[in-house]
Amino acid sequence: MPDSVHLACIYIKERPGLRRYLTKMTGNLSMADDLIHDTFLRVLDKDRSTSQIRDPRAYLLRSARNLAINALATQRRNPEISELPEVADPAPAVVERMIAREELLLVMSAIASLPTKRREVFIMSRVDNLSYDQIASRLGISRNTVMVQIVRALSDLRKILEM
């Protein structure tokens, strides 16, 4: 039997085991497949007859292991751009910006639909960050009225936004 036919038989028989071994070793199925091909090409390139190899399986395993070690070392020295860790994009994606804009418009519309006095108290509290006492003194109303208006505004907004 010619050497290439003998090697083809060995390839068919040993490929699944080599693939499992190299995938475990590298953690990458694609790299494992490449290494299997490189291993068999290395055997073909050698000017040796595969019939002179006492244990073809052990020879293939050792060759594949050596190639994998070399490939992993090269990969560590020269990581590909696709294998570098991804850095989060600080700018929100277009879809996220669109959703946020729609939500903001809904909230603004809901606030605009509040009765005038309630809307004014709510904006002074939540947007201008004024205390209840400051709002009361500016509008000439009691602190309790400010609190009631805030509670009602929040309740109204919750109802409007749930719809």
More confidently predicted of 95 and 61: 61
The predicted-structure confidence for 28-87, as pLDDT tens digits, reads as follows 888 888 888 888 877 776 645 555 667 777 778 888 899 889 888 888 887 665 555 555
Task: State the CB neighbour count (10 A cutoff) for residue 34.
Answer: 16
In tens, the pLDDT along 120-162 reads: 999 999 888 999 999 999 999 999 999 999 999 999 999 988 8
More confident residue, 30 or 3: 30
Radius of gyration of the chain (CA): 36
pTM of the predicted protein model = 0.44
The helix or strand, by DSSP H or E, that contains position 10, with its residue range, turns out to be helix 3-26
Q: Catalogue all structural domains in the chain, each as residue range(s) with its CATH number.
A: 3-82 (no CATH), 113-162 (1.10.10.10)
